Amino acid sequence: MNWYRDISTAEKRTLWGCFAGWALDGVDTQLFSLVIPTLLVTWGIGKGQAGLIGGATLVAGALGGLLAGWLSDRYGRVRALQITVIWFSLFTFLSAFAQNFEQLLVLKALQGLGFGGEWTAGAVLLSETIRAQHRGKAMGIVQSAWGFGWAGAVLLYTVTFTWISPEWAWRVLFAIGAVPALLVLYVRRSIKEPPRAPVLRDPGQVRATASHIFDRSVIRTTIVGALIGVGAHGGYHAITTWLPTYLKTERHLSVLGTGAYLTVMITAFIAGCFVSAWLQDRIGRRRNVILFAVCCAATVNLYTFLPMGNTAMLILSFPLGLFAAGIPATLGALFNELYPQGIRGTGVGFCYNFGRIVSAGFPVLVGHMGNSMPLGSALGIDAGIAYGLVVVAALMLPETKGRKLAAAEPAGSAASTASNASAAPVARRV
């Protein structure tokens, strides 16, 4: 942890502010998956309706990420972070008072806007605050906060459902979701807005807009970054959606519903983020993404093609969770280093969240392929396609490790070559 002693107080405050935001975001989001069984019984809704709520939250989260990126470019990183934290806290709290399925569906979708936006706003803020040589480590550590939030949600669920009847316990859990709003007080007092590019002097220039991520100077970066987002999220969602079903229905394994399995997966996620955080500042963003993608594809195929029992599956869950976490732990630093300051939030929001939207097709593809072949084979092929896309796309990007973001070029400056994408223009003459 020598690097942590090297960074300034302002960097540390930003690091822990973003960490807390993402952890609390994880708590609020994971609570729904834990109370689904209670809602099925209490309200008598079907699994399809519960799935619709979860799906609506994820889609809204992707849209929120796109919107938050634009907000951070227009109104500032800190302000966008405050807005998103208040937003998801408010609608998580209001979900506690939902009286029927329709109301909860709307409220959870609105919560999703803040949930998706908080990652984008926080990632851009942290990337512009932490010095280049430690950016990967800081971004990876913040990504691990999701695992701590996941564990926190399980703990809150256990305590609440132990002391309160189920028909009221889930409402209490959602009401607790208002707590993250208090984080805004810390953000307002302790976190400073990163320096911005100089104000435009030429009246013939305009501020960058969302459409500028499709300018000729950065369109290749946007397309390739979006492909990485598609592959990374596609592989992850295919695994988390279908692997439990495959292991339970075709391998007839019983350990999936145990606390041991949940503990292994949460621990593996946190460990994967820390390993990725350390590696990406040593071997670079491209090599790190490629390494974890190849390892993910290999581990999934070991899962689906090797005969194993409960103990072997539990052991293999750790490397699978570790490798799956390593890719998103790299994306924050990578995507931020690909764009100039004026459109950085928009670019990061698009690459990450476009991938989340399109990745919904990968679980569907597994299900479709599973009609004509064993589910394990369909899952292995699908994961191979997703992570193969990550590898190919990563090979098309320049290495960005060590790129300085604070020295962003003024809007309207000349574009540089791919060797320094951070100097791409962020405004055009009209």
Q: Where are the domains of the chain?
A: 8-189, 208-430
Q: For residue 162, is pLDDT > 50?
A: yes
The mean of the pLDDT values for the chain is 80
Per-residue pLDDT averaged across 416-422, rounded? 38
Residue type, 123: A
On the question of pLDDT at 208 being above 60, the answer is: no
The dihedral of CA 200, 202, 203, 209: what is its sign? negative
Residue 408 scores a pLDDT above 70: no
Q: What is the pLDDT of residue 119?
A: 83
Q: How confident is the model at residue 185 (pLDDT cuts 50, 70, 90)?
A: confident
Which range (165-169, 258-262, 390-394, 407-411) has the least confidence? 407-411
Q: What is the pLDDT of residues 365-394, one digit of tens each?
A: 887 887 788 877 888 888 889 999 999 999
**Mean pLDDT in residue range 302-317:** 77
pLDDT(333) > 50:
yes
Bridge partners, residue 200, by sequence = none
202: pLDDT confidence band, cut at 50, 70 and 90? very low
> Residues of the chain with pLDDT > 70: what percent?
87
91 or 179: which leads in pLDDT: 91
Average pLDDT of span 325-344: 87
pLDDT > 90 fraction of the chain, expressed in percent and rounded: 13
Fold annotation for 208-430:
Growth Hormone; Chain: A; (1.20.1250)
Given a cut of 70, whether residue 220 has pLDDT beyond it is yes
For the structural domain made of 8-189, what CATH number should be given?
Answer: 1.20.1250.20
- The 10 Å Cβ neighbour count of residue 345 is 29
Tell me the sheet residues that pair with 205: 429
